Amino acid sequence: MKSMLAVCLLGLLPSAMGSACPNNCNNHGSCGTSSQCECYRNWFGADCSQRVCTYGLNFIDNPIGDLDGDSKVSATRAFDPRENSLVVSTQNVIGGASELYNWKYGYARHNTTTVWNEAHFYGECSNKGVCNRATGLCQCFPGYEGEGCIRQACPNSCSGHGSCRTIEDAWNTGTYSAWDKKKTQLCRCDPGYEGPDCSLRTCPRGADPVKFAHQVTNSVQGVLFRASTKKNVNKKIYYTLTTSDEFGDSWTTRLMSIDYTSDTGVPTVGVTALKKYVENVNQSLSWNDGIEDGFVWGVHAGVVYPSAAQDKDSNSKVVFVDSQRFRLDAGISTATAAVCGTGKKGLCLFIQNQNHGKQSAYRVDFWYNGHSGTGLTAVKEAVTSGQTVGFGAIGTEASAATDLDLVTVVDVQSKRQWLKKDGDVTKTFINLAQTALDSCSNRGLCDYTTGLCGCFAGYTGIACTEQNSIAYTY
């Protein structure tokens, strides 16, 4: 009887010694010693049935709490979901979250008196969502999105009138290096829209007709075509001119060209050609909404068209030039004399824009074929295409000598002059950027649902810039 009982007990021993892990670890881990699952990557739990969600830099760090029930909250005890929910010592370098914060929190301090300046450790769902253990996907809190809730969501998805961009994408200048440069997002609105969610229509801006009564509110920029000292330009430079309107929208002219003399690299300009260039640009700008009532002057070798000396167009029709509006200021001619003054070989085109305020720099895209007889040399003129960026220096006619671009856009607003014959009241020229002017010229209220100005009594126009009666407010 005793021997039979012994046999039965021995038969049970293998079963007890080889007992299986819970649910056989759900095929997401291996059964280790003590019948404990050792889960594969991204799985955890006693039976490896739960998924680990994506980690990201925490928007907000928070303590986990008392994990081991010793009534203390310490950075030396930690939780790691990969270790079957066990509370272990951080000496194991588990890489989880401690009872206080991340297990690494405070480790970079030199001593216990140094201020803790660490934050935004990696956390599940970036600490802005709840992990769905069945799918391993984060259910983000309102206002957060992306895998692991790693980004702030833009309000109303920018209302369909803008793009949602991170600081790094849209505003980083290379100096911003904070932790959120890839996480904080803002709306970059399309032209004509504004507001945090791009839901507001932008009203036109203008110069307050009272505040700027003694200022000329239009502006002038110059486009300089220099002589190529290396003689690389073969016959023509082709170019387009791009301007921006008050809403930030870009407008590009049709393709135009300037003839160059191949053997000298000099713009081919006589009086007839000068008129042709000016009239071509004028006509192209008439279809460009980035310029209001544009007016163009051309200067080469000291000859100005249109001017008192050259007051007839290519069809022999008289061009009115006897007013400040249609006269190229002598100060501009003097400032650019080193490029297109008497005896110089460059060509200068000056464009007046009736839109209020100083305009952002026009952009010229240009391209040309290199001169086959000399080959391309290692100067900026050697490129077969180029683009101006912002305002450049006026410089001299020889671009290669000073390493300036063959085509340059210059700001000549400060060179303008008010003459006695222009009026008894001396006016200055506006130096304020168009984008800095008041909405509805400070003489009306903007309806942000339509983008239209409701002008006060006595004022009219799309931006309330015109006075239809004398109106002063004290």
pLDDT digit of tens for each residue in the chain (474 aa)?
Answer: 455 544 444 444 444 445 689 999 999 999 987 888 888 988 988 899 999 999 998 998 877 777 667 777 766 666 665 555 555 554 544 445 566 665 555 555 556 566 666 778 888 899 999 999 999 999 999 999 999 999 999 999 999 999 999 988 877 667 788 888 899 999 999 999 999 999 999 999 999 999 999 999 999 999 999 877 666 677 788 999 999 888 888 889 999 999 887 656 677 788 889 999 999 998 888 776 667 788 999 999 899 999 988 888 888 888 887 788 888 988 999 999 999 999 888 899 999 998 999 999 999 999 887 765 544 443 444 556 788 889 988 887 654 444 357 889 999 999 999 988 888 889 999 999 998 999 999 999 999 999 999 999 999 999 999 988 665 554
CA distance 390 to 400: 20
Q: Under DSSP, is residue 271 helix (H, G, I), strand (E, B) or coil?
A: helix
| Distance, CA of 405 to CA of 388 (rounded, Å) | 8
CA nearest neighbour of 405 among 332, 346, 449? 346
Cα atoms found within 13 Å of the Cα of residue 388, Cβ hemisphere only: 28
Domain 154-200 has CATH 2.60.40.10: no
Domain ranges of the chain: 17-128, 154-200, 202-212+430-467, 218-429
Biggest alpha carbon–alpha carbon distance for the chain: 136
pLDDT of residue 207: 95
Predicted pLDDT at 387: 87
Q: pTM of the prediction?
A: 0.74
| Closest to 104 (Cα-Cα) out of 87, 91, 115 | 91
| Residue 255, pLDDT score | 93
Residue 42, C-beta contacts closer than 8 angstroms, at least 6 positions apart: 51, 52, 136
| The pLDDT value given to residue 196 | 94
Residue 173, Cβ density class (10 Å: 0-12 exposed, 13-18 middle, ≥19 buried): exposed
Q: What is the pLDDT of residue 120?
A: 84
Query: Both tokens of residue 279?
Result: 């009239």
